[in-house]
Amino acid sequence: MVKIKEENGQFVVYVRGEVAASFLTKSEAEAFAAKQTHYPTLEETLITDNQEDVTNGIRD
């Protein structure tokens, strides 16, 4: 769970109850918080050369 609290003139982002980051503006904090709850789509995941399709998961 992500929460944003204003503390001492800064917007602090908490992720799972721990301080994750702090920002001077609320919009920056909200953008960061949104990224923390975003799960990548298939197109956004990292693909490396050793992740090609292999029949039955067995490599020669």
Per DSSP bridges, beta strands 10-15 and 18-23 are: antiparallel
The share of the chain scoring above pLDDT 70, in percent, equals 65
Extended strands (E) in the chain: 2-7, 10-15, 18-23
User: How confident is the model over 12-33, as a mean pLDDT?
Assistant: 95
Model confidence pLDDT, tens digit, residues 2-19? 999 999 999 999 999 999
